[in-house]
Every structure is written in C-alpha cells, then in structure tokens.
Amino acid sequence: MSAKNAFYAQSGGVTSVINASACGVIEAARKHPDKIGNVYAGRNGIIGALTEELIDTSQESDEAIAALKHTPSGGFGSCRFKLKSLEDNKREYERLIEVFKAHDIGYFFYNGGGDSADTCYKVSQLSEKMGYPVQAIHVPKTVDNDLPITDNCPGFGSVAKYVAVSTQEAALDVASMATTSTKVFVLEVMGRHAGWIAAAGGLAGKEEGDAPHIILFPEIPFKKREFFRKVRQCVNDYGYCVIVVSEGARFANGKFLADQGTRDAFGNAQLGGVASVVATMIRDTLGYKYHYAIADYLQRSARHIASDVDVRQAYAVGQKAVEFALQGKTAVMPVIKRISDKPYRWKIESAPLGRIANKEKMLPRRYITKDGFGITAAARRYLEPLIRGEDYPPYINGLPKYVTLKNAPVKPRLKTKFVV
C-alpha cells in the first residue's frame, strides 16, 4: 500500500507557538516517508482546502521547518471560517473530501480551538460515510485555554507569561509616578467567555499590596458599587491601582461592558475597548487620572518572551498527532495531562473529539478570590508552571530572526472552483 499524503491547516487566531505545532507535525511526518508522503498545508487555513489552494511543504528545507519552532503567527496563513453544520451545508464537507481524494490525502491535522475540533470531528464522520476514510486528528491551540479535558492549551502559557510580565512592569511604572501623575492603570486582555488570561495577570502580585489590585473576570458579574469601593481603597492604601480586565467582562444581565452593538463573522459581539470603558467610569465617578493599554495582538504574538513550557508542549502535541495517526487513531486530540505540580511534570495522551467539540472550559470559581477581584493559591499553583522558562529566538542586529516560508503552491487537480 502506497503512502498517503497529509493535510495540515491552522485555524482561528494565531499564537506565538502555533508554528511550533506545525514544526512538530511536519518533522514527525518526515520521519515516516514509508507511511506519509507529502505534507500539504492549507493556504489561509481550511479555506485553502475548500479552494484547493494547497502548499507543498516538501519544498521547504529541514532548516526552514525547524525555524518555525521559534517563529510566531501562522506560517501558512490562518482564517476565521467556521464550517456550518452537516445539515446546513453538507457541500462544504463534501468538497473537503473531494480535494483530499484528488490529492491522495489520508491524514488531516487541524490545528486550532473549539470550532476546528468540531470541524475535524465532522470530517472524520463524513469521510467514512463517503467511502474515503480520512484519519482526522485535531491539534490543540488556543490562547483562551478553554478546551476541555486537556490540562492546558498550547498558546496559553506564552500569553499568560506576557500578561504577567507586562502587568508587573507597568505596575512599577505607575507606582513610581503615582504621587503626582497616574493613579489608575487598566490593562485589557483577551478572553471572551473564560478568564484564564486575566487570571494570569494575577501572577505578577506575590505580596499584599502588589499589583494587580483588581482583576475583572468574565465569570464574575461586574458590580459598579463594589468595584468603585475597591478602586478607592487601593488608591488610599497603596497610592495607585492596577486593574487587569478581560475583554469578556460583563454585567449581571450578561451584557458585555464593551459591547458596542457590532458583530463579528460568527455573529458574536465584537469586543475590544473595555479598558477605555472601565477607565472612563473611574474618571467620571472617582476623578482619578488614568492610563490604559490594550494587549491585543501583542499578547499572542510575543514569541520573544514565550514560555519554554508552552513551546515544548506546542511541539509535542504536533508530534503526537502524527504518532496517533500512524497508530490508526482518528477523531482524537492530543491532550496534556498534568502529572504533578512540584516538580511540574506532564505527558501527552489522546482524547476523543466527541468529548471536546463544542465544549468550553471556564475558569473554576475556586481559582477566584471570595471578593471576585483576584486569584487564589490554587490558581497560582495551576498557572505558575505554565509560564516557566525562556526559549528565546535567535537574534540578528538586535531583532528576532524569524522564518518566512516559500509556501510553494500545489497544482490543482479538480476542474471545479469553489467560492467561500
């Protein structure tokens, strides 16, 4: 039996370590030329499969693929494109199978979060029904850290490190000027539904009075009176107040603080700008001078300060995805299992996609202090190992040396075009 080709695609918002997973997949596949032929990548994610815009990774040198491990963003391009349900748009899934069949693809590695896990699961089911079985393996990636079963998600550890370090450094700045200048600093971080990233900001504070003094989580309804009381107390006690706020912070009725009425491609409220909302509330109510910052893309692309643990785990799940496929597994995801906190030890296992797709893991209430404004010792025990270690990229002339791939196209074999 001749070796089947593999298809790899990146999905959703990219991270500083998603390319490390790509490196893991491609390097592992290259070790088994008798079982896996070429590894094709989707140009701009799953869209590349639908439009038959495939990238031939065999045209990349071993050195270029290895350099992906220290290069942020999506080396092959990613997209926010959610395939509809099989019932609503079976044609999209059939098109995927047609492309896979035309290019002799027998392995599907989809690197993303919850939506891509669902797509991967559906492709595995439909391919069987269509008589062209494809081994579909989901490779976990999300800065939101909200995939179930896995202890943590590749991409999160590095964002957590960036947010914790940024909070610590900005707090020193504010504290040094608070007597005559800024009293309140607000840092906005990602996290629509789950407060994992906001919680990571709490790692910056180790002693009573350390920043951040307040964390606003999506899981805890925002109450103005309690919030203003806490801000005033911090300024009175410490001379200043540092706040980390999740973009998904919301009122008790479920409305986002930053909901301006606009919607994204998936119909979700378009968030961003909650730092400005919170800062303005403080100024109007308490009169304090403020500054705010939005971490935005900086938090997820900061490869220069990536967590070594995160890099190693991102590579490992890519590598294990190939191993699981070669073992005959399908519709599974490599998950990280924590063995111990001290010393921090972990391993990779497989979990069925049926238990992962369309499910979210929220920040547990036991990780949030009783007043709702900070993290507990349990949260610290969970978070601290994930940000440990540094894995600096090589530098040249003072800047990181990142790789740009050739991304050589594969010649289309289907006559029909597909418009997304």
Query: Residue 397, by phi and psi: left (phi above 0), alpha (psi -120 to 50) or beta?
Result: left
Contact 43, 403 (CB under 8 A): no
**CA angle 105-108-110, nearest 5°?**
150
Q: How far apart are CA 160 and CA 364, in angstroms?
A: 17
Q: 62: number of CA atoms within 13 Å, CB side?
A: 5
Looking at residues 85-113, what average pLDDT do you find?
92
pLDDT at residue 265, rounded to an integer: 47
pLDDT classification of 20: cutoffs 50, 70, 90 = very high
Concerning whether 308 is annotated as a catalytic residue, the answer is no
pLDDT higher than threshold 60 for residue 258: yes
CA distance 55 to 72: 19
CB 215 within 8 A of CB 242: no
324 contacts 135 by C-beta, under 8 angstroms: no
Whole-model pTM: value is 0.95
| Residues 23, 123 contacting (CB under 8 angstroms) | no
The number of residues making up the chain comes to 420
The number of beta carbons lying within 10 Å of the beta carbon of residue 335 is: 23
Q: Can you list the alpha helix ranges (DSSP code H) found in 302-412?
A: 308-326, 377-383
Domains of the chain: 4-142+305-359+389-400 (3.40.50.450), 156-303 (3.40.50.460)
What span, in angstroms and rounded, lies between the C-alpha atoms of 192 and 248? 4
Q: Helix %, strand %, coil % for the chain, to 5?
A: 40, 20, 40
Residues 301 and 209: beta-carbon distance below 8 Å:
no
Taking each helix axis from N to C terminus, what angle separates 308-326 and 18-30, rounded to the nearest 10 degrees? 40
In the prediction, which pLDDT does 420 show? 82
Residue 212: which pLDDT band, with cuts at 50, 70 and 90? very high
Marked catalytic residue, from 144, 146, 310, 391: 144
Res. 192: pLDDT tops 90: no
How far apart (Å, rounded) are the C-alpha atoms in residues 143 and 148? Answer: 13
Task: Supply the mean pLDDT for the chain.
Answer: 94
Rounded distance, CA 362 to CA 147, Å?
9
Is the pLDDT at 263 greater than 80, yes or no?
no
In this predicted model, which residue has the larger pLDDT, 366 or 270?
366
Give the pLDDT band (50/70/90) at residue 259.
Answer: confident
User: Would you call 210 exposed, middle or buried from its count of C-beta atoms within 10 A (0-12, 13-18, 19+)?
Assistant: middle
What is the Cα–Cα distance from 92 to 69, expressed in whole angstroms? 32
Tens digits of per-residue pLDDT, 158-175?
Answer: 999 999 999 999 999 999
Cβ atoms of 223 and 257 within 8 Å: the answer is no
CB atoms within 10 A of CB 64: 18
